[in-house]
Amino acid sequence: MGSSSTTHPHVSSTSSSITRTAVLASPDLSFRRRVRDALAGLRWQVREASGGAEALAHLEACTAEALILDSWLPDLEIHEFIKEFERLHPGVDLITLDGALYSSSVSLTRSPRRNELLHALRSGQDVEAPQANAYHHPLQEIPEDREMVSIPAAPEPKAMASPSPTLRPESRASINLRLPEFIGEHSRLLEVSRRIRLVAPRMTPVLIQGPTGTGKELVAKALHRLSSRAQRPFVVLNCAAIPESLLEAELFGHTRGAFTGAVQGRTGRIETANGGTLFLDEIGEMPLPLQAKLLRFVECGELQRIGENEPVTVDVRIIAATHQPLASLAASGDFRSDLYYRLSVFIIQTPSLIAHLDDLPMLAAHFLSRLGTGSPVKNLHPSALGLLLGHAWPGNVRELEHVIERGYILAEDRSEISVAEIEFGDGLASS
Ligand SMILES: Nc1ncnc2c1ncn2[C@@H]1O[C@H](COP(=O)(O)OP(=O)(O)OP(=O)(O)O)[C@@H](O)[C@H]1O
């Protein structure tokens, strides 16, 4: 795409006929294309990756001399990605874009290729001279021997909620790193991320099982975000929150006058999710007669709105979640076993907080830093942390999130949350 065959004026004779390879990891397609074009003129071959797993796969498959890394990756937590990269590929140069200033800076290992790459990146983005050491890099763990220079902003700001690229099925998914939104390093949590990466690009139905507040909805959203359906709707239906009498109409939709009170027609959640993902939360609460109708839809992709004879074809990926032992319910006849087998082709189990209690300090710090946005971050006094570590956590991570928020508010303008500010779900102060 528009690559130039002329040598860049800023680049010396180091630009030879030899083709070198750089891996470029960024979810931003237009940024990748700009950098690729800029480097092509300097005989750099660029292998593009939309996520971290794909970048690691490229690095394994080719002899790359540099990795150019965006400030955010959709599938891997960036600090851990960098650590893994440096462990596996110590000889490969790393260029990182600064997230805080929005890609206005890069850090780069010192190497003979440094100037050439920098000039190429700048030429692709039409910028001024570099300003050495002009910013504070947000990635604390980047070694200090990396030089900081400025390049212009390229990618658009990325938020977790924004559409992100699909993981290609061939992306290496078995790497033992977590997705950015999952805080914690316990092997059971890493397994959740691994499974999400493996199954997200596929149509396979997924059943998410785990106690309340363990991140089942977080898993469903990540599956959608990393699928080819990411730009299409993600629709949630909590089967426990809607009265049984209304659930069918909510799911399948109805025509005007289909039943008493149906003063106008309504599109059901399945149709609303067309092209995207339908997340059926608390599927174990779905009444048996409705399970039969859902099974029909799962089997043939057709549904009938209440009051209408013609079936409608809808294309949705179904993700279901439950805190109940669905296999036991199916065995006892309280849940349709045929539907159970249809929905549970791939199971992701979210662990209770007690099962990964070592992650509690990290999770608490994460929630505190989120609460501290725009104001000084508060810390937990060691005795308050000890109290948290001794709690049973029936409400899991959600309960922790709420306990931290209460403590944060109760600590008023103090920078430390003490034992006195730790209140568990019963609302009683701990002391
Ligand atoms: N590993 C984690 N890292 C960061 N946040 C988490 C993690 N696990 C859960 N959370 C947070 O905990 C809260 C509860 O998560 P979520 O709603 O996904 O749980 P759930 O299992 O679906 O709960 P329920 O069964 O009650 O619907 C959310 O704010 C979510 O972001």
Would you say residue 357 lies in a domain?
Answer: yes
CB 25 within 8 Å of CB 47: no
| Alpha carbon of 429 to ligand 1 centroid (Å) | 24
Q: Say which residues have a Cβ less than 8 Å from residue 358's Cβ, sequence separation at least 6.
A: 185, 186
* CA-only gyration radius of the chain, Å: 25
Query: Could you tell me if 425 and 399 are in contact, meaning their C-beta atoms sit under 8 angstroms apart?
Result: yes
Ligand 1: residue whose CA is nearest its atom 9? 215
Verify that 198 and 94 share a domain, yes or no: no
Nearest residue (CA) to ligand 1, atom 12 = 398
On whether residue 134 sits in a domain, the answer given is yes
Of ligand 1's listed atoms, the one at least distance from the Cα of 220 is: 18
Residue 363 included in any domain: yes
Residues 334 and 389 in one domain: no
Residues 228 and 374 in one domain: no
CATH number of the domain at 231, please: 3.40.50.300
Give distance in angstroms: CA of 217 to centre of ligand 1. Answer: 6
Residues of the domain holding 246: 187-349
- Furthest CA-CA distance within the chain: 81
In a domain, 10, yes or no: no
Same domain, 406 and 286: no
Q: Pairing mode, if any, of strands 105-108 and 147-150?
A: antiparallel
Q: How far is the CA of 379 from the centre of ligand 1 (A)?
A: 22
Report residues of the chain scoring pLDDT below 50. 1-16, 99-110, 126-163, 170, 172-173, 427-431
Residue 277 Cα to ligand 1 midpoint, Å, equals: 19
Give me the CATH number covering residue 412.
1.10.8.60
- Residues 197, 322 within the same domain: yes
- Residues across the chain: 431
Last residue of a domain, one of 96, 122, 150: 150
Number of other residues whose CB lies within 10 A of the CB of residue 102: 15
Ligand 1 centroid from CA 219, angstroms: 9
383 in the same domain as 300 = no
Helices (H) and strands (E) in the chain, counts: 14, 17
The three-state secondary structure class of 145 is coil
Task: Round to whole Å and give the CA distance between 136 and 80.
Answer: 19
Q: Please report the ipTM that was assigned to this predicted complex.
A: 0.98
Q: Which residue's CA is the nearest one to ligand 1's atom 18?
A: 215
Tell me, yes or no, whether 119 and 195 share the same domain.
Answer: no
| pLDDT of res. 168 | 59
Mutate to test the pocket of ligand 1, among 214, 219, 358, 400 (most ligand atoms within 8 A of CB): 214
- pLDDT at residue 323 in the model: 96
**Whose C-alpha lies nearest to ligand 1, atom 24?**
212
Q: Do 227 and 323 share a structural domain?
A: yes
pLDDT value at position 329?
Answer: 94
178 is a domain residue: no
Nearest CA to ligand 1 atom 15: 215
Residues 220 and 344 in one domain: yes
Residue 353: the pLDDT is 97
Q: Is residue 160 part of a domain?
A: no
Closest ligand 1 atom number to CA of residue 192: 1
Q: Which residues line ligand 1 (CB under 6 A)?
A: 182-184, 189, 210, 212-218, 281, 323, 350, 397-398, 401
Q: What pLDDT, on the 0 to 100 scale, is given for residue 29?
A: 85
- Residue 287 is assigned to a structural domain of this protein: yes
Best mutation site among 397, 399, 403, 404 for ligand 1 pocket (most ligand atoms within 8 Å of CB)? 397
Q: Residue 94 pairs with which residues in a beta bridge?
A: 67
Cα–Cα dist 7/3, whole Å: 11
pLDDT of 37: 82
The pLDDT of residue 142 is 31
CA-closest candidate to residue 108, choices 135, 141, 143: 143
Given a contact cutoff of 8 angstroms between Cβ atoms, the answer to whether 164 and 224 are in contact is: no
Number of structural domains, the chain?
3
Q: Last residue of a domain, which of 93, 125, 150?
A: 150
Q: Is 346 helix (H, G, I), strand (E, B) or coil?
A: strand
For residue 87 the two structure tokens come to: 């462990």
Q: How far is the CA of 351 from the centre of ligand 1 (A)?
A: 11
Atom 7 of ligand 1 has which residue's CA nearest to it?
Answer: 215
Minimum-distance ligand 1 atom for the alpha carbon of 238 = 27
Is the domain of 146 the same as that of 32?
A: yes
d(CA 396, ligand 1 centre) in Å:
8
The protein residue whose alpha carbon is closest to atom 6 in ligand 1 is 215
Q: How far is the CA of 409 from the centre of ligand 1 (A)?
A: 21
- What separation in Å is there between the alpha carbon of 182 and the centre of ligand 1? 9
Q: Which residues contact 162 (CB under 8 A, 6 or more apart)?
A: none
Tell me how far apart the alpha carbons of residues 59 and 62 are, in angstroms, rounded to a whole number.
6
Distances (CA, A) of 188 to 79, 83, 216, 284, 359: 20, 20, 14, 24, 11
pLDDT per position as a tens digit, 363-378:
999 999 989 776 778 9
Handedness of CA 273, 276, 282, 283 (dihedral sign): positive
Q: Determine the atom of ligand 1 nearest the C-alpha atom of 215.
A: 18
Pocket test for ligand 1, best of 191, 193, 218 (most atoms within 8 A of CB): 218
Which domain-ending residue is among 150, 170, 196? 150
Report the separation in Å between the CA atom of 69 and the middle of ligand 1, taken as the mean of its atom positions: 29
CATH of the domain at 133: 3.40.50.2300
How much of the chain is helix, strand and coil, in % rounded to 5? 35, 15, 50
For residue 370, the CA-to-ligand 1 centroid distance in Å is 15
* Ligand 1 centroid – CA 145 distance (Å): 38
Same domain, yes or no: 312 and 357: no
According to the model, what pLDDT value does residue 113 have?
64
Give the integer Cα–Cα distance in Å for 38 and 316.
40
197 and 345 both lie in a single domain? yes
